[in-house]
Structure 1
Amino acid sequence: MLKTSGKIFKIIRESKNMSLKEVAAGDISVAQLSRYERGMSGITVDAFYNCLKNMAVSLDEFQYVYHNYTEADDLVFSNRLSEAYRENNLVKLESILAECQALEKEFPKKKNYRLNTIIAMGTLSHCDQHFQVSKKDVDYLTDYLFSVDEWGRYELWLFTNSVDLLTSSTLETFASEMINRTQFYNNLPENRRRIIAMLLNVISVCIEENHLQVAMKFLNYMDNLKIPETELYERILIKFYKALYSYRVGGSYALTEMEQCLGTLEFLSAYGAAQRMKEQMERIVLPQLQICK
């Protein structure tokens, strides 16, 4: 790994047309940096970050090149799983689950492989009601999340994709503690996006299960996040869930707002998201209309 990272570092430095002296910039000796690039010795973390800064290269950019111009494995996996879910592709989801189970069996001591398997099972169960996740697996996931004091990108992803598996009390506890558990990371763009996705999932589940006080609590929190106008999908979902909440508490006028949100997604050709929104409206709106009749 030392030889590989040094080689990658050299590729980036040369692509910037910078000399060893320019990159070292007094933070490390030129000789030591040269040995690192040749795989002969390591450098401190501080020196590594300073040298990246001197090249105006972010850690994400370094990792992208390090992984042969592809995203890190966890991002590739989460993207594949999300894509299969959006497509409601049971064959693809079953294939992903089989891959997870194979890795878990090959590396039984690695927690993340078992956790990935549980999330894959949860995603499959969301698309196929006949598939169930065992209480033992849900407890394993819950215990892991409780054990981590500071949630990073991976923990946020786990929670975001498991809200349907958790009890309402556990869901509220985790969502409430999320702010404290992510305080060191929530300014990172990727983590911020995951926090927003997590909260939207929590709000959705709470509205469906009629935990309206909890739903309003997190809808109010979303208002304080000041989501940029460029993040249109998130803003549409927030508007939709506010209208769905209003409809739940008796605001029949909110149906028009929900239909506008649905129409916007369809206009933008976001048909998968629009279909899920339509299905959620049908699950909540139609029963209430029948009750009114």
Structure 2
Amino acid sequence: MREIGQLISTFRTDKGISQAALAKDIMSPAQISKFERGLTSITVDKFFLLLDRLNVSPQEFDFELSHGDAPNKNKIIADLTQAVISGNRSQCELIKQAALKTYQRDKCGTNKALLLMINALMTRLDHSAFDQDSVDYLCDYLFHVEQWSSFEFLLYGTTMNVLPLPTVNLFSQDLISRAVPTAEIQQNFELIIVLLYNTVRLNLMNNDLLKAQYYVRSMENINFGGGGDKCREGSISN
């Protein structure tokens, strides 16, 4: 988590504001320089005056402080899912903007995938279309990751509703073979079972009973081990 002064500096530079302009009538440029470098503290009143001049709400600052540098992707998606369920569009936008800033700082594949996950979830809120370039990127990313971690399982589960059904079936057929060697990692194993249930649901929605039955039979043949009954009772995400 970044220090408060450093985050003030990040907001200031992002907005193209000089230290002198930000500090004017609030504190001296020397004081804000020390604050941004973590060498001194300031009063709460001055802190809120700085936020007001930066046009940053306390909620935005708190969110960026919690998620900015090394975002906990699982928590971001959990927070976004809750915001989508509750119809909180402003919170969704805050989460999306934080993920976008993270991607702009480090344009690695996982950061872009995280941003696409957020876009996919937000289509449920505004019923917008998911563009073909994003679909192509997700498919390419998932196909080229040989050993899925919990992030790839989360990515697939979050975006499977926006992927073409034939692609979903290809990935889910591969999940069946992944289930046994992954059984030692209980969290990933449970994710696989939920994803296969969701694949059944998607095929039933598309009136493909044979495919749905195929995945049901495949799950029945998976060696669940000690945690199997628990997995079967888990809820199916929508």
Q: Higher relative CO (CA 8 A, sep ≥ 6), structure 1 or 2? A: 2
Q: Which amino acid aligns with 1:193?
A: E
Q: Using a 3 Å threshold, how does the CA distance of structure 1 residues 193 and 87 change in structure 2: closer, same or farther?
A: farther
- Residue in structure 2 matched with residue 150 of structure 1 by the alignment: 147
Q: Partners of 1:221 and 1:91 in 2: how far apart?
A: 42
Matched, 1:118 2:116: yes
Counterpart residue type for residue 90 of structure 2: V
In 2, Cα distance between equivalents of 1:194 and 1:92: 26
1:82 maps to which residue? 81
Whether 2:111 is the aligned partner of 1:107: answer: no
Hey, what's the Cα distance between the residues in 1 that align with 2:231 and 2:113?
29
Q: Is this contact kept in 2: 1:153–1:191, CA < 8 A?
A: yes
Q: Tell me the C-alpha RMSD between the 2 structures.
A: 2.5
Identity, % of aligned positions: 20
Matches within 5 A, 1:253-268: none
**CA apart distance, 1:121:** 0.4
Cα distance change, pair 222–82 in 1 and its aligned pair in 2 (3 A): farther
Tell me the alpha carbon deviations over residues 11-62 of structure 1, each in whole angstroms, 9 at most, x when there is no partner.
xxxxxxxxxxxxxxxxxxxxxxxxxxxxxxxxxxxxxxxxxxxxxxxxxxxx
Looking at structure 1, the residues matched to 91 and 160 of structure 2 have their Cα atoms a distance apart, in angstroms, of: 22
| Deviation at residue 181 of structure 1 after TM alignment | 4.5
Aligned pair in 2 of structure 1 residues 126, 146: CA closer, same or farther (>3 Å)?
Answer: same
Change (3 A) 1:152 1:141: same
* CA-to-aligned-CA distance 1:222-246 (integer Å, 9 cap, x gap): 3344564445752x65xxxxxxxxx
Q: CA deviation at 1:87?
A: 3.2
Indicate the residue corresponding to 1:223 in structure 2: 220
> In structure 2, what is the equivalent of residue 93 of structure 1?
92
Q: Which amino acid aligns with 1:153?
A: S
Count, aligned residues:
165
Q: Using the TM superposition, give the Cα deviation of residue 150 of structure 1 relative to its aligned residue in structure 2, in angstroms.
A: 1.8
User: What corresponds to 2:173 in structure 1?
Assistant: 176
**Could you report, residue by residue, the CA deviation over 1:189-245 in whole angstroms, capped at 9, with x for unpaired residues?**
1101211221122222111122221111112223344564445752x65xxxxxxxx
Mapping of 1:1-293 within 5 angstroms?
73-108=72-107, 110-129=108-127, 131-181=128-178, 184-225=181-222, 226=224, 228-230=228-230, 233-234=233-234, 237=236
Q: Normalized against structure 2, the TM-score is what?
A: 0.61
Instruction: Tell me how far apart the structure 1 counterparts of residues 169 and 110 of structure 2 sit (CA, whole Å).
Output: 24
Pair 1:210–1:89, CA change in 2 (3 A): farther
Q: Judge which range, 183-192 or 83-92, deviates more.
A: 83-92
Unaligned runs of 5+ in 1: 1-71, 238-272, 277-293
TM-score (norm 1): 0.50
Structure 1 residues 222 and 127: CA distance shift in structure 2, 3 A:
farther
CA contact (8 A) 2:179 2:189 kept: no
Shift of 1:185: 2.7
3-state SS of 2:213 partner: helix
Q: Distance in 1 between matches of 2:129 and 2:170?
A: 23
How far is 1:182 from its partner?
Answer: 5.6
Rounded to whole Å, the distance in 1 between the matches of 2:172 and 2:198 is: 10
Asked if the contact 2:142–2:152 (Cα under 8 Å) also holds between the matched residues in 1, the reply is yes
Distance in 1 between the 2:231 and 2:195 partners?
15
C-alpha distance in structure 2 between counterparts of 1:214 and 1:232, whole Å: 19
Q: Which residue of 2 aligns with 1:9?
A: none
Does the 8 Å CA contact 2:83/2:89 hold for their aligned counterparts?
Answer: yes
Deviations 1:152-197 (A, max 9, x none): 2111111111111111211111110123346543321110121122
Q: Structure 2 counterpart of 1:91, which letter?
A: S
- Counterpart Cα distance in 2 of 1:193 and 1:155: 14
The one-letter amino acid paired with 1:114 is: K
SS of match in other structure, 1:223: helix
